Structure 1
Amino acid sequence: MPYLLLLVSALAGAYLAVQRVYSWNRLRHIPGPPWCGWSDIWMLRRAWSGSMYKDLGKLHQQYGSLVRVAPNYVICGDPAEVRRMWAVRSEWDRGLWFKGFQLDPPKDNLISMLDNELHASLRTKMAAGYAGKGIDGLHESIDAQIARFVTLIESKYLSTDTKLRAVDFARKVQYLTLDVISTIAFGRTFGFLEQDDDMFDHIKTTEDSLPLMQMIALVPWLLGLLQSRVFKMFMPSHKDVVGLGKVLSIAKEVVAERYGDNKITKNDMLGSFVAHGLSQQHAEAESAVQIAAGSDTTATSLRTGILSIATSPQVHATLLAEIDSAIAQGRISSPITDAEARALPYLQACIKETLRFWPPITGIVPRVCPREAKVCGVNVPAGTNVGWSAWAVLRDEGVFGKDAGVFWPGRWLMRVYEGAEEGEGEWEEKDKERLKRMERTVELVFGQGKWGCMGKGIAMIEINKVFVELFRRFDFAVLNPAQPIEYEFGYGLQMQKGIYMRISRRKDLDTSTRNSADVQVSE
């Protein structure tokens, strides 16, 4: 018996060794850190620490546009190649990595679903809702929450020349995005702004759970383990009173009202999903995803955008001049409309630069091809996970110029004077072909093609409105210039905590402009 056990152990060891050698050999022609061909440790350590986003950027600087980071993972840093792999008619489909984002396993959602036909069917049923078609008061709902956010700042966190009221802007902004998305998704506002608190510890538990979700995504077999009876008890449940489980509970409760014999019918986003044939189970899953994904990503864009603009004097002055000029000329309402915001060129340049410099989604989102394919001119065997490096793609000097490593909205526009006095003139596009290439690259932040983010339109409406409504009223000053962000981490989603600011009312506004900016939105 001992000899049999020894033989089995030896055979198992030999099998694992052969398998490891085979795995190393199939991708040995792709450069990367030496041990990455033999082990997942490099990748998993960076994923757990939250540093993978930046570390992948460093690898591309060292090894080139295609880098091996694990036995079956390679990362692409070429913008054109990423767009090609993510295109609508591409052979490349989602890898098992996406299964790690089942919020209520084993139930799938738009993020975790791998089946092309099921995914396409689900998107079709949800398209009208995300497009805002037939939804009552979409823009008004967003305006109302922004007004509450303005009121919160003015009532509790407005500093003066003699009084400092420090505020963690990163946290308060997330209260806003949670209330916006819950109003849109559930037809019921959570009330984070009203309570001025992290209700049911949602933000804290989400941040705490992100490292584990990232690890599960990179090692998919862990998902099966966590769905077992032993570990299921540790996963979020609709019976929980805090965190993601509480969101699942609210989603289950609200969705249940829309189905059955005594169902409630409303012309909101959930109502659109129901009207277009979404099942009750899928409605629960998608409503929870809207909260978890929609609030974090939009909050990141808002907090980093406001921070970057406020700490760049020339950018700040130029944006304020554009906003003030538009107000004086009657081109901006109170509150501003999405169409009016989109007509402000420098505002749009600031938003695009924010998405480029601070992408809210930094996960490697790997694709897999069923046959051998070329990536960056290199043969990649079938079944290989090919992800992207958001850092390398969005700071590509060939696309964005030699200054791609700095925050500069001016790269999207240029000032043409044509004999006019300094400070006058029109904003017009730079080299149109280069601009188009830049825009296509930044759009990768939202995915592309059949797997593109459906919430992009709503997120952009919110971002457009918030930037203007805040900068038309307030000045922002960072309280710790040496460390403006106390804590930053990336676990597929880029998150920031501790952006402490001094917010004061703008002193350079004349009385009429200030009144037109305040009265209507703060009602």
Structure 2
Amino acid sequence: MASLVAPSRTVLGLAAVGATILAWFVVSTVVSYRKLRHIPGPWLARLSQLWLFNVTSKGDLYLAMEDVIQNYGSPAVIGPNMIVLDDPEYVRLNTAPRSPWRRGHWYKAMKLDSRINNILSEQDERRHSELRAKMMPGYTAKEVPDLEATIDDRILDLIDLITREGVEKHSPIDFAHVAQYFTLDSLTHIAFGHPFGFLTKNEDLYNYNKSSTAFFPVMELGTNVPFIHSILSSSFMQALAGPQAEDKAGLGAIIGIAQKIVADRFNPTSGSKPERDMLNSFIKHGLTQIEAESESVVQLLAGSDSTATTIRMTLLFILTNPTVYVKLRNEIDAGISSGHVSFPVVKNSETLSLPYLQACIKEGLRLWQPLNGIGTKLSPPEDIEISGVRIPGGTQCGISQHMMMRRREFFGEDATIYRPERWIENDSERVKQMEKVWELSFSAGRFTCLGKGIALMELNKVFVEVCLLPGNSLNEYAERALLI
């Protein structure tokens, strides 16, 4: 009899567990539905994470958010207890210095080192502020005096590569890769005192680009769907497929290199000379060895890809708009003739006096946001009103940068078109209003991107120098440089 009773108890136990899970799912779904029932959105998104999982898996989340906001308005429900908005005031509200808003689940998946949170994944406000205070000086020329000269050297490497391989040899160049080589070499030089050599070798070292391209879609799934993140962050998955410092290729190899460089700086017997680079600044201002290792990887992964994306897309906009290219080239040529554009690389201060160049950069960054994740923030415990809609306490609120930068009331009826002239032709008050929204590309307040100044310096210089490559017309230039 005992042998018959035991299995029956096991079955009953499993049934009880299953019933409990089902009851929890039903109750939580009903509670979540009732909480956000006054906010419209896709019906499946109200009941399950499957809708968000599906649109994220397709790789066009920004277009899905565009479709949702166009059909349902802003805010709109995109998951249980999750909404999306396109309101710039919402961004300023949740990024204000003493704002009660907190980073939501999205940021958890940005934890790249299982040992410690980084400045992007840290959700504890006090620790996040401490990290920013330690790291902020390292992004300035005061602490890294060769900052601009370092970028100039990498610009010269970029132009040399394009001239050598594209113009002289008439060999096709995948500029998508070359742009990332440039940002990777710039960042590794600024951070570690020397570039890794992507540009000089014209090679995807350690298969970094290939592996990161495969990694980003998986990471995005984790940022948007908590269930997926719980699987990916488990010790089993980390051991099975997570990047390891011992890897010979991919992100793991980069982690290994960063850890060796950091360990050398912390080793008093290494005999290495102190570098006036970003890493040295981090250490000087109190970053621990494990923190420095973690932050170095985040710098490369997030900083290089975002700036490279802006370079690719802005150059594409310029090359596919002949009138824009001609105006930009004429402005640069006039700057050279008047002595306001230096040789061999333009100074950052000089680029600020080239209004059409600045308009081209702003328009490119506006139309194609390099980081289009929804970046959810957790609303305060009490209800709050945004865009005239009540947001219940404890709601995960995402932002559609893509839609925010296309709002017609800020950028005009042709907001979906690349037209740099909007930054020049409008009166000063209208331009200020546009800039107030545009600057949110780098977030704001306590979440402002630390690398904003470096990214803009790279953008300011790269388009001047690329436009000065051989060729006097757009067609000849595009054909000879083989960038499109």
TM range (shorter): over 0.9
Aligned partner of 2:422 among 411, 419, 429 = 411
In structure 2, distance between residues paired with 1:110 and 1:12: 35
Cα deviation for residue 413 of structure 1 reads 0.4
Cα deviation for residue 194 of structure 1 reads 1.6
Contact 2:187–2:304 under 8 Å retained in 1: yes
1:439 alignment partner, SS class:
helix
In structure 2, distance between residues paired with 1:261 and 1:457: 32
- The yes-or-no answer on 1:367 pairing with 2:377 is yes
Contact 2:91–2:443 under 8 Å retained in 1: no
Q: Which residue does the alignment assign to 2:214?
A: 208
Q: Which residue does the alignment assign to 1:355?
A: 365
Instruction: Structure 2: state its 5+ residue gaps.
Output: 1-8
Task: Report the AA paired with residue 258 of structure 2.
Answer: A
Q: Which residue does the alignment assign to 2:109?
A: 100
CA change 1:9–1:284 in 2 (3 A) is closer
- The yes-or-no answer on 1:261 pairing with 2:268 is yes
In structure 2, distance between residues paired with 1:384 and 1:396: 24
Aligned partner of 2:440 among 444, 447, 450 = 444
Q: Which residue does the alignment assign to 1:520?
A: none
Q: Which residue does the alignment assign to 1:377?
A: 388
In structure 2, distance between residues paired with 1:291 and 1:72: 33
1:242-287 CA distance string (max 9 Å, x none): 1111111111011111113225421111111111111111111111
2:479 alignment partner, SS class:
strand
Contact 1:322–1:344 under 8 Å retained in 2: yes
- The yes-or-no answer on 1:19 pairing with 2:15 is no
Task: Report the AA paired with residue 232 of structure 2.
Answer: L
Aligned partner of 1:237 among 244, 249, 252 = 244
After superposing the two structures, state which structure 1 stretch, 393-402 or 269-278, moved more: 269-278
Contact 2:76–2:83 under 8 Å retained in 1: yes
Aligned CA-pair RMSD: 2.0
Sequence identity percentage: 39
In structure 2, distance between residues paired with 1:316 and 1:229: 51
Q: Which residue does the alignment assign to 1:276?
A: 285
Instruction: Structure 1: state its 5+ residue gaps.
Output: 415-429, 480-499, 506-523
Contact 1:164–1:502 under 8 Å retained in 2: no
In structure 2, distance between residues paired with 1:397 and 1:474: 38
Higher strand share: 1
Q: Which residue does the alignment assign to 1:418?
A: none
Task: Report the AA paired with residue 166 of structure 1.
Answer: P
TM-score (norm 1): 0.86
CA change 1:142–1:4 in 2 (3 A) is closer
- The yes-or-no answer on 1:336 pairing with 2:364 is no
In structure 2, distance between residues paired with 1:106 and 1:435: 45
TM-score (norm 2): 0.92
Task: Report the AA paired with residue 402 of structure 2.
Answer: W
1:241 alignment partner, SS class:
coil
CA change 1:328–1:67 in 2 (3 A) is same
In structure 2, distance between residues paired with 1:339 and 1:136: 15
Q: Which residue does the alignment assign to 1:470?
A: 466
CA change 1:141–1:25 in 2 (3 A) is same
1:387 alignment partner, SS class:
strand
Cα deviation for residue 15 of structure 1 reads 3.2
In structure 2, distance between residues paired with 1:228 and 1:35: 28
1:409 alignment partner, SS class:
coil
In structure 2, distance between residues paired with 1:455 and 1:135: 13
After superposing the two structures, state which structure 1 stretch, 262-271 or 221-230, moved more: 221-230
- The yes-or-no answer on 1:182 pairing with 2:188 is yes
Cα deviation for residue 6 of structure 1 reads 4.0
- The yes-or-no answer on 1:167 pairing with 2:177 is no
Q: Which residue does the alignment assign to 2:402?
A: 391
Contact 1:165–1:502 under 8 Å retained in 2: no
Q: Which residue does the alignment assign to 2:3?
A: none
1:179 alignment partner, SS class:
helix
Task: Report the AA paired with residue 76 of structure 1.
Answer: L
1:32 alignment partner, SS class:
coil
